[in-house]
Amino acid sequence: MIIVPVLDMKDGLVVRAHMGVRNAYRPIETPLSATADIADVAAALRQVFPFPAFYVADLDAIENGARPLQAAELLAGLRPAPEVWLDAGFSSSDDIAATLDNARTLAVLGSESQVDTGLLRRFGNNPRLLLSLDFRANAFLGPPEILEQSELWPGTVIVMTLGKVGAGDGPDYDVLRKVKTRAGNRAVIAAGGVRDAADLRRLEVMGIAGALVASSLHNGALSEADISSFMGPSQAR
């Protein structure tokens, strides 16, 4: 099971996400890092565990259509350099293609940013395209066809339940179970609400392939030993 730390970026800083209310996000305050700079926060998370990948949500691009961050370059100082899962509100072929041109970046196609299935059809066979099925209060965000036509889904599908992000009340197991049933042999990644190792164990039993996490790393609820029990032993840092 893969565990991927989340770095939510807004106005150039890592922010603390809470229930998808993005206009209320403020720079993160964490015992792990003295600053909210993305390189500092990522390096601090690497002191918890040598994560091979980070999920970067570019909120300026998602909310305002800003050009996507060069997220891999912002984290290039980490050794080894991580893989970056970039969620930047992709709505144009050019932006997705440019992101996929970087060998260390995977593009996350968020359903909330789509107007139809066009981009999913064009890029869905690329193994470095990830689909995020976005939900808020049990409502699917995006064209219904994206949710209904599971044959279009790529090999990895993220279930993003925005109301669970930072809420501390656990993942949305019902939505995850429904998506897992339809996903077949695709990898399903849980996003939103993971509190501790008990949640991860329950997800693992369900056949969920991984989880995006943030709060449980910053508050210490997930320890190095917990993470190692799912991802294998950590390497010397």
* pLDDT tier, 23 (very low <50, low <70, confident <90, very high otherwise): low
Alpha-carbon distance of 197 to 161, in angstroms, equals 19
Lowest mean pLDDT among 10-24, 35-49, 185-199: 10-24
Q: Which residue has the higher pLDDT, 71 or 218?
A: 218
Q: Which residue has the higher pLDDT, 31 or 26?
A: 31
DSSP state of 108: E
Which residue ranges form the domains of the chain, and what is each CATH number? 2-231 (3.20.20.70)
Q: What is the mean pLDDT of residues 163-176?
A: 79
Are 237 and 78 within 8 A, CB to CB? Answer: no
- Mean pLDDT (the chain) is 90
Nearest in space to 212 (alpha carbons), one of 196, 228, 229, 192: 192
Task: Say whether pLDDT at 21 is over 70.
Answer: no
Task: Say whether pLDDT at 166 is over 50.
Answer: yes
pTM: 0.92
Residues with Cβ < 8 Å from 162, sequence gap 6 or more?
Answer: 19, 20, 134, 135, 136, 141, 192
Q: Give pLDDT, residue 237.
A: 45
**Partners of 106 in the beta sheet?**
85
